[in-house]
Amino acid sequence: MALATTAPDSGPAHAAQPALLERLLEEHRELLPALQAWVEGLPGAPAERAWQELAALAERLRLHAHVEDETLFAAMADLLGPAALTGYLMQHDDIDEVLGQLLQTPGQLPDGAPELADRLLWYCESHFEIEERHIFQEALARLTPQQWAELEVQARALAARSGDGPPAPQQATDGS
């Protein structure tokens, strides 16, 4: 069962959402249905193709988590204290652990893959929902436009280094 992802409050105070938050939400809206389709197509799928499809999804999920960890979660840890983000980070670790179990042997899935796939889907569904209902809302309430802009620059740089996303904007230097 896929959960519908909900956008953070778009009331008058937050009419235009920060670009980073929009991108994270869009990734949730893309990744969850893609993962659900992979899980549903797993029975009867050729093992090598299923493994390759999951490997591509895993790369996207891992980049998404890395960008969250290094930008939004780091900023919120500065405001709320690191303990406030421990659960979110542990959920990223749980997702990565299941991905590792599913992908440990190149070109083939392990025995018990359907159960692991269901667990992965459940982890992602619940994690995305919790993020959207809690940490994203807190970020909207607490981060300034300047902080959001700085996080966007960091996120673009991370994505550019990974080869996924537009290049990071170049900073002007004196004497150029």
pLDDT score at 13: 44
pLDDT score at 130: 96
Nearest to 123 by CA among 103, 94, 101: 94
Domain ranges in the chain?
A: 18-162
Helices (H), the chain: 19-41, 47-68, 74-80, 86-103, 113-130, 136-142, 145-162
pLDDT in tens, 51-65: 999 999 999 999 999
Does the global pTM surpass 0.75? yes
Better-scored residue on pLDDT, 1 or 95: 95
Mean pLDDT of 100-112: 96
Q: Which fold has domain 18-162?
A: Four Helix Bundle (Hemerythrin (Met), subunit A) (1.20.120)
pLDDT score at 167: 46
